[in-house]
Amino acid sequence: MNSTQFYLLFTTLSLTSATTSFAIYARPGCDDTCGNVQIPYPFGIGSGCYFNPWYAVDCNSSTPYLSSINNLQILTLNLENQTVTVNVSMTSDCQTPVRNSSQILTVDLGRTPFLFSQEHNKFTVEGCGNAVILEQDNLLTGCSTICQNINTTNRNNCYGINCCQTTIPYYLETYSVNISGLESRGPDGACGSAFLVDERSYSVGRFLVGNTFVPISLKWTLTEQEVRGTGCSNVGRQQLDLGNGTTIESYKCSCSPVERGSAYLVDGCEVVRECANCTNGECQVNGSGNITCIPYPFSQARSKSSTLGVVLGVSISVGVLILTATIFALYKVIEKTKDKRRRERFFKRNGGILLKQQESADESLVDKTTLFTAKELEKATDYYNENRILGKGGQGTVYKGMLTDGRIVAVKKSKIVDESQLEQFINEVVILSQVNHRNVVKLLGCCLETEVPLLVSEFIPNGTLFEHIHGNNDEFPLTLNTRLRIATEIAGALAYLHSATSIPIYHRDIKSTNILLDDKNRAKVADFGTSRFVSIEQTHLTTLVKGTFGYLDPEYFQSSQFTEKSDVYSFGVVLVELLTGERPISLTRLGEHRSLATHFMLAMEEGQVMSIIDLRIVNDGSRGELMAVANLAKQCLNLTGKNRPTMKEVASELESIRMAHVPATGRTDVTNSKYNAGQQEELIML
């Protein structure tokens, strides 16, 4: 069996409780079906049940109607594809009083959030002759058939003999069908007809005899704001081409492949019942929607997992210890099994670890990590084309890619898999899938079935903070106001990681190359490769010193004990970088001045700090403001960790400096999207 066809569920122990509840499709107190049509939210029957009036459904004698669009009859609703299939009139020569005259039917959705779906509909002509489909007066496509004796043709296909079919080029708001000279198909009394039809509902001849209606799929669209407004944690985006040079972006919220329900509702997704008994394996759904429970391949992994089950309810910190032990045990196991099926085992093993992660995660933080197939990512990155490389670093290579739904992503491909690399990768997945903060790079998913593990995260288009401070980027001036905002955003994200998450997360490698800027130049903290979870008892971690020279906390360097204050120190260096525009390790200064932190502290001591402020901002703010930032940086760079403020204190101090700051007139915070990622000299790591 080909594992690329599989999705995988991070089976959790909470699954057992899932057996007693049901997938939720409608808001509380609302009906979720009408007749035998399921009506999932954002659609709803009756006031208070739908997302907005466009999605209102009338249920009349067990038949649902879309009341916002001319009471079109709803045949099916599909959350995954965001389609509503409706019953729409078609054009047929039966309606033509005089054969061979032209017949036109126009269907118009106007200014609604619905579009005729380009993917799901086909323009179809049955009969002998030809017909065209037009948008307003523009010919979109046409189709013509040749006629043959009906008895000698295969009635089941539609390849140009008595029947033809073609795709439409765009998503449409309106269309017209013009038939002229379309002859009836023969002795069975069917009319010649031309219509747009939902491809999956169509089979030759099915809608013809005595019927004037066909199923058509409409794409319903939601804006990002609307989808995020529902509290959605798994937002997807699709670009819809309207043909005249415009595309619109449509957002959706989905459950994972082994879940059912409406993801737009709070707790709407439920794991399917078939997975309920799959507590000793991975619940998978294959291409044909068949769900199977694949037992864990390793006996060790299995016994660990059941041990974990007992312990977890008791204490999260114990859970974390076991998690660490399990990760350790798992890659020990892998080391021993370097056989031909290594790839398959990587997949299973990685899945097993994610499983533990979900178990130990705070329920409110449970975020469904999408699993990408190897094929999908190959396609997205054009087979890891060199042109797509965004950055290379110690841990691997980052590629830019485009998913089939149009989303631009960054795919991080780790280097050779060895023990430490694997641990870093898993660390990153485990941590990032729990983190949901606007200033932390969002992990979209990962790919576990490749030998080299892959991480997929949102693509942050505007490069690193390092490039903006130190590059010759005149197009986007970093004003004092912008710098204060960026500093506040980073501090806020770190404060969140240190204290707002269920388990403190230390970044351990804060530096300006790990701060990315998005299209609105908002800061996003990236690269959690060296991060660690820290349980409450374990606030001092003794490990090999890792970090980047120039940002490394000297106290940590000496003691090998990483504390939350080590992140504060590194942040202090970034703050000084923002303030002075100097590199953390100078290429031109000498001696102890080579280190920016030391250079800055010496200048502070000598009362000379104003002389090293970046000339680009020195006139943006008052001396008082600049000194306030410099003093804060000085506190962060205190050689004694416990004398440094916490990230939370830093964030609130920066916030108040920023609130008090009135940007100099005439300056604006220009957003520059023309940044060319190809010119980077420094690495971007996610």
Ligand X SMILES: *[C@@H]1O[C@H](CO)[C@@H](O)[C@H](O)[C@H]1NC(C)=O
Decide: is 244 part of the binding site for ligand X (CB under 6 A).
yes
Give whichever of 193 and 424 is closer to ligand X, judged by the CB atom.
Answer: 193
Give whichever of 285 and 609 is closer to ligand X, judged by the CB atom.
Answer: 285
Give whichever of 20 and 643 is closer to ligand X, judged by the CB atom.
Answer: 20
Question: In sequence order, which residues have a C-beta less than 8 Å from that of residue 56 and are 6 or more positions away?
Answer: 43, 44, 47, 50, 66, 67, 68
| 614 has catalytic annotation | no
Hey, is 627 helix, strand or coil? Answer: helix
Give whichever of 274 and 378 is closer to ligand X, judged by the CB atom.
Answer: 274
Is the CB of residue 9 less than 8 Å from the CB of residue 258?
Answer: yes
Question: In sequence order, which residues have a C-beta less than 8 Å from that of residue 188 and are 6 or more positions away?
Answer: 150, 205, 209
- How many chain residues bind ligand X (CB under 6 A)? 39
607-613 long-range contacts, CB within 8 A, separation 24+: 612/580, 612/582, 613/579, 613/580
**Residue from 73, 112, 247, 635 binding ligand X (CB under 6 A):** 73
- Edge to edge, the sheet with strand 163-167 lists 91-92, 193-198, 121-126, 163-167
Give whichever of 88 and 435 is closer to ligand X, judged by the CB atom.
Answer: 88
| Minimum CB distance to ligand X, residue 650 (Å) | 47
The one catalytic residue among 509, 527, 553, 620:
509
Give whichever of 187 and 607 is closer to ligand X, judged by the CB atom.
Answer: 187
Tokens of 476: 């986007």
Decide: is 3 part of the binding site for ligand X (CB under 6 A).
no
**Which residues partner with 142 through β-bridges?**
132
Q: Which residue has the tokens 């399917």?
A: 272
Tokens of 384: 């890891």
**Residue from 16, 102, 560, 611 binding ligand X (CB under 6 A):** 102
Tokens of 454: 């892959």
| Minimum CB distance to ligand X, residue 343 (Å) | 18
Stretch of 237-245, 347-355, 382-390, 408-416 contacting ligand X, by CB under 6 A: 237-245
**Residue from 27, 40, 49, 120 binding ligand X (CB under 6 A):** 120
Tokens of 579: 């303030």
d(CA 361, CA 399) in angstroms, rounded, equals 29
**Left, alpha or beta for 564 (phi > 0: left; psi -120 to 50: alpha)?**
alpha
Torsion angle of C-alpha atoms 404, 407, 412, 413, degrees rounded to 10: 10
Stretch of 49-57, 280-288, 496-504, 658-666 contacting ligand X, by CB under 6 A: 280-288
**Residue from 3, 95, 247, 286 binding ligand X (CB under 6 A):** 286
Decide: is 187 part of the binding site for ligand X (CB under 6 A).
yes
Stretch of 271-279, 580-588, 628-636, 678-686 contacting ligand X, by CB under 6 A: 271-279
Decide: is 13 part of the binding site for ligand X (CB under 6 A).
no
DSSP letter (8 states) at residue 172: B
Q: Which residues, numbered 123-182, are part of the site for ligand X (CB under 6 A)?
A: 149, 151, 173, 178, 180-181
| Minimum CB distance to ligand X, residue 311 (Å) | 23
d(CA 91, CA 87) in angstroms, rounded, equals 13
Decide: is 289 part of the binding site for ligand X (CB under 6 A).
yes
**Residue from 22, 80, 206, 549 binding ligand X (CB under 6 A):** 80
Decide: is 277 part of the binding site for ligand X (CB under 6 A).
yes
CA distances from 402 to 240, 241, 433 (A): 15, 16, 21
Hey, is 562 helix, strand or coil? Answer: strand
Decide: is 104 part of the binding site for ligand X (CB under 6 A).
yes
- Edge to edge, the sheet with strand 408-414 lists 370-371, 443-447, 454-458, 408-414, 396-402, 389-393
**Residue from 33, 87, 153, 317 binding ligand X (CB under 6 A):** 87
Residues of this chain that bind ligand X (CB under 6 A)? 5, 58, 60, 65, 71, 73, 75, 78, 80-81, 87, 99-100, 102, 104, 119-120, 149, 151, 173, 178, 180-181, 187, 213, 242, 244-246, 273-274, 276-277, 286-290, 292
Residues identified as active-site? 509
